[in-house]
Amino acid sequence: MKFFIFTLKSKIKLMPVLCAIMLIFMGSFYIIALNSKNKIINLEIYFDEQDSKNNMIIGLINGTASTKSNLSLSTSYDLQSSQSKLEDGDIDVLIKVPANFYNSILNSENKSATIYFSPYLSETEKGIFTSLTKSSADILSYAQANIYVSDSIMDSNMSSRNYELNRYFLNEVLNREDEFKTVKSEKDNNLIIIYITLLISSIIFANSKSKNYIDVYAHLIVKGYNLLAINILEILSNAIIFAFITGLILFFQKIPLNTALFLKLMLINLFIASLTEFIAIVFKEGASFCILILCIVSTLSSGLLLPRFSIFLNAYVTPVNLIMANTLISYSIFALYTIILILLVYFKIYRNFRY
């Protein structure tokens, strides 16, 4: 117990540094999130030819609540003027619609509209806009299927065909919630922010690990301590400090604490505490660099600042993906990771004693 109190006191002394790091990180993340939140994108559509359908497209975009609140839309028939505005940053996105665009959809020629981004547009906003246009293209492909089916069967069953098709598509639209799934919730975002913040804070613990810890542990073993108990006490002292940092985040973010959230946070704290101890013992002087790489990879894979790459989406068993999965199985894997890390730390120190 005396060793645990001593270890805890030594880590409490690091709290001012930890709080400073946490404030810098949280402040930076808040500024980035604030700058990208509710940003209205200035979009200009250049039409290569004047067509009555152009106004229909403009009316459709302006009449959709989800787009008109995020887009400032303008039209142009002067490509050179539009490109100049794009280069000067007066508009964020330019879409060039080629001539005979609408007929190309009907006859399956499918002429492509070209999208140009302003050099001043952030990668996050580019990614969001690209994702939206890809989704729109997918929707268009379903609409084209109706056109091709109607064209192939020509006039057969014309009296009932349109009725049946309209009934099918109207049912799909009215039940469109069934076609979507939630891939991320605000609660998951908060957990990921806490995870990354604790991971960054663990750099201080990894650096503060005594280089002659083997001598300290040998002295404790002589006094009757068990090696596994020493490891667990070290990890618990880390976890207590991490729990304090987590409490501060919950307080400032005004996140209500319930039993399910408490258990999830406890697992995350224990996992980070075990991971910190493992990295400090295995990598020694390179521990800070190793944790920094983990922080960068975790931030990129979280999708908080940039759209998630497919390589991260497919890595199902990474800590960030387990948090985002938010299931009993995912947190069971988290618990398994923690136990494995504790055992790895124990065996690593045990080998150091033997050799």
Dihedral sign computed on CA atoms, order 228, 279, 211, 207: negative
- pLDDT computed for residue 27 by the predictor: 61
- Give the chain's mean pLDDT: 74
Average pLDDT over residues 196-201: 85
Least confident span in 37-41, 115-119, 194-198, 286-290: 37-41
| Residue found by looking up tokens 């492509």 in the block | 112
Q: Which residue has the higher pLDDT, 243 or 304?
A: 243
- H/E stretch holding 276 reads helix 259-283
Both structure tokens of 278: 């493992």
Convert 280-334 into a string of H (helix), E (strand) and C (coil): HHHHHHHHHHHHHHHHHHHHHHHCCCCCCCHHHHCCCCCHHHHHHHCCHHHHHHH
In this model, does residue 327 exceed pLDDT 60? yes
- pLDDT computed for residue 269 by the predictor: 92
Composition of the chain by helix, strand, coil, percent to 5: 75, 5, 20
**Tens digits of residue pLDDT in 65-98:** 556 666 777 888 888 898 898 888 888 888 888 8
At residue 187 the predicted structure's pLDDT band, cuts being 50, 70 and 90, is very low
The span from the CA of 93 to the CA of 116, in Å, is: 6
The span from the CA of 81 to the CA of 94, in Å, is: 11
Do residues 280 and 206 make contact, with C-beta atoms less than 8 angstroms apart?
yes
| C-alpha dist (Å) from residue 63 to 66, 91, 267 | 9, 21, 46
Residues in the chain: 355
The span from the CA of 274 to the CA of 280, in Å, is: 10
| C-alpha dist (Å) from residue 229 to 3, 238, 265 | 11, 14, 23
At residue 268 the predicted structure's pLDDT band, cuts being 50, 70 and 90, is very high
Do residues 199 and 189 make contact, with C-beta atoms less than 8 angstroms apart?
no
**Tens digits of residue pLDDT in 274-320:** 998 888 888 887 888 888 888 888 887 777 666 665 566 666 788 88
Least confident span in 146-155, 197-206, 216-225, 248-257: 146-155
- pLDDT computed for residue 256 by the predictor: 86
Dihedral sign computed on CA atoms, order 144, 148, 150, 154: positive
In this model, does residue 216 exceed pLDDT 90? no
**Tens digits of residue pLDDT in 5-58:** 766 676 676 666 666 666 666 666 555 555 555 567 788 888 888 877 777 667
- pLDDT computed for residue 63 by the predictor: 60
- pLDDT computed for residue 43 by the predictor: 83
Give the global pTM: 0.57
| Residue found by looking up tokens 């009316």 in the block | 59
Q: Which residue has the higher pLDDT, 164 or 297?
A: 297
The span from the CA of 316 to the CA of 276, in Å, is: 22
* Residue 163 CB contacts under 8 Å (≥ 6 apart), including other chains: none
